[in-house]
């Protein structure tokens, strides 16, 4: 089996106690796998008692109680320090890493919701690397998935070579709109051979559309109260000139394409994946105005936590892509 990953994947190292927004402090519901639960039942002494207090059960499975009793005041995990990496549940051990399986490969990545992962995503030009995994399940190539992945990689290569990210994202929206039905119909060669062309509307960006999209975020589930103030600040700056951070936004756009394009396309929603990447580009461009690089990293990770890592918010946003006029391709292009 092949293993695909961005070039920065192996560079990721958790900042642990140096992290400003420790993921162990969030109120996410973190599921605990049964093997780890059983392991915790066998740990003796004070550590075993604390481990068992850290686990809740709702009849459907086990989960880590928050705030987690294993998180020490210095920001380090007592379970990790005492039992090593294997003493953590699967999600605690993996986060912010993710794995997607397509055709004959597994694709690895790190999620934007972690501030250290956000720093890597925003500073490292994306390229994809391949490793051969020894052992693992025997898998076979799937022609439909292979075609989608080939188109996705074409989009990433196009963006990374971009000299004008606004025109090129607009062109990708147009391209995806033109090939979605062909890919669904199995006309892979026809779809892939179409050329992605930059698209320029020759008009000023629509501040009204941007304000409407930001306003929609106020109606979503808010995880951090400071997020509301951040959105208000962005709304006030819509008419200000864009800042000089196209390269960072380009890399974030590629992150969303890498992570979601194949998954959404296999579910018949290719255009939604590109809309998600484009809308994220637009919102983060507005959030980044007047901010330092360190602040931009923090805002990117907050956006991901609030939108991308909230299942409810992400589902609602993708539903709006189908029903709301402001998310039609031409209306999104007006915001770029």
- pLDDT tens sequence across 303-329: 999 999 999 999 999 999 999 999 999
Q: CA-CA distance, 169 to 225, in Å (whole number)? A: 31
Instruction: Provide the 8-state DSSP code for 129.
Output: E
Question: So what's the pLDDT on residue 139?
Answer: 60
> Cα 308 from chain centroid?
6
| Contact yes or no for 117/96 (Cβ under 8 A) | yes
**Cα 306 to Cα 302: distance, rounded to the nearest angstrom:** 6
pLDDT level of residue 135 (50, 70, 90 thresholds): low
Determine which helix (DSSP H) or strand (DSSP E) holds 311, and give its type and residue range: helix 311-323
| Whether the predicted pLDDT of 134 surpasses 60 | no
In this prediction, residue 133 has a pLDDT band, given cuts at 50, 70 and 90, of low
Per the CB < 8 A criterion, the answer to whether 173 and 329 are in contact is yes
- The residues near 58 (Cβ < 8 Å, ≥ 6 apart) are none
State both tokens at 307: 């939108």
Closest among 231, 204, 208, 209 to 218, alpha carbons compared: 231
Per-residue b/e over 198-220, b at no fewer than 16 CB within 10 Å? bbeeeeebbeebbbbbbebbeeb
> What is the reported pLDDT for 36?
93
pLDDT, position 23 = 82
Q: Number of helices (H) and strands (E), helices first, in the chain?
A: 15, 7
Structure tokens at 161: 């070579």
pLDDT tens, 159-180?
999 999 999 999 999 999 999 9
Half-sphere exposure of 242 (CA within 13 A, CB side): 18
Is 138 a residue whose pLDDT tops 60?
Answer: no
Q: Which of 227, 249, 212, 247 is nearest to 305 (CA)?
A: 227
- Give the residue-averaged pLDDT of 149-154: 98
Mean pLDDT over 225-244 rounds to: 96
The 10s digit of each residue's pLDDT in 30-74 is 899 999 999 999 999 999 999 998 898 887 889 888 878 898 888
Residue 259: which of 156, 333, 154 has the closest Cα? 156
What does the pLDDT read at residue 164? 96
Query: Which has the higher per-residue pLDDT, 61 or 22?
Result: 61
Per-residue model confidence (pLDDT) at position 75 = 84
> For 247-292, what is each residue's pLDDT tens digit?
999 999 999 999 999 999 999 999 999 999 999 999 999 999 999 9
pLDDT tens-digit map of 73-128: 888 899 999 999 888 999 889 999 999 999 989 999 999 999 999 999 999 999 99
Question: In the structure encoding, which two tokens stand for residue 186, read together?
Answer: 């199995």
Predicted confidence at residue 28, as pLDDT, reads 74
Of 272, 252, 251, nearest to 260 (Cα)? 272
Annotate 48-72 with b (16+ C-beta within 10 A) or e (fewer). Answer: eebbeebbeeeeeebbbebebbbbe
Handedness of CA 325, 184, 268, 117 (dihedral sign): negative
CA angle centred on 263, ends 326 and 113, rounded to 5° = 75
Confidence at residue 137, expressed as pLDDT on a 0 to 100 scale: 58
Q: Is the pLDDT of residue 132 over 80?
A: no
Report residue 112: phi and psi, to 5°.
-65, -20
Burial grade of 229 (CB within 10 A; 0-12, 13-18, 19 or more)? exposed
In which band, very low, low, confident or very high, does the pLDDT at 229 lie, cut at 50, 70 and 90? very high
């Amino acid at each position: 089996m092949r293993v695909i990953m961005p070039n920065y994947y192996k560079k990721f190292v958790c900042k642990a106690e140096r992290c400003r927004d420790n993921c162990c402090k969030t109120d996410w519901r973190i599921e605990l796998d049964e093997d780890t639960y059983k392991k915790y039942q066998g740990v003796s002494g004070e550590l075993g008692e604390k481990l068992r207090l850290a686990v809740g059960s709702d009849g459907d499975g086990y989960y880590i109680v928050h705030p987690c009793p294993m998180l020490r005041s210095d920001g380090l995990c007592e379970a990790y320090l005492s039992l090593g990496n294997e003493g953590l549940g699967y999600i605690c051990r993996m986060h912010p890493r993710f794995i997607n399986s397509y055709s004959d490969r597994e694709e690895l990545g790190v999620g934007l919701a972690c501030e250290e992962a956000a720093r890597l995503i925003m500073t490292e030009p994306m390229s994809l690397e391949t490793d051969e995994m020894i052992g693992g399940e025997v898998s076979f190539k799937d022609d439909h998935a292979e075609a989608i992945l080939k188109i996705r990689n074409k989009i990433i290569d196009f963006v990374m070579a971009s000299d004008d990210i606004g025109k090129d994202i607009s062109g990708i929206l147009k391209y995806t709109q033109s090939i979605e039905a062909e890919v669904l119909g199995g006309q892979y060669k026809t779809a892939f051979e179409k050329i992605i062309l930059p698209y320029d509307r020759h008009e000023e960006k629509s501040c009204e559309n941007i304000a409407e999209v930001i306003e929609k975020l106020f109606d979503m589930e808010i995880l951090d109260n400071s997020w509301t103030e951040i959105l208000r600040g962005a709304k006030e700056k819509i008419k200000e000139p864009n800042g000089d951070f196209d390269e960072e936004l380009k890399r974030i756009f590629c992150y969303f394409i890498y992570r979601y394009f194949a998954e959404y396309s296999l579910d018949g929603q290719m255009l939604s994946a590109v809309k998600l990447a484009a809308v994220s580009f637009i919102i983060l461009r507005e959030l980044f105005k007047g901010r330092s690089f360190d602040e931009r990293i923090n805002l990117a990770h907050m956006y991901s936590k609030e939108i991308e890592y909230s299942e409810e918010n992400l589902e609602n946003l993708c539903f709006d892509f189908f029903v709301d006029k402001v998310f039609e391709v031409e209306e999104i292009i007006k915001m770029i």
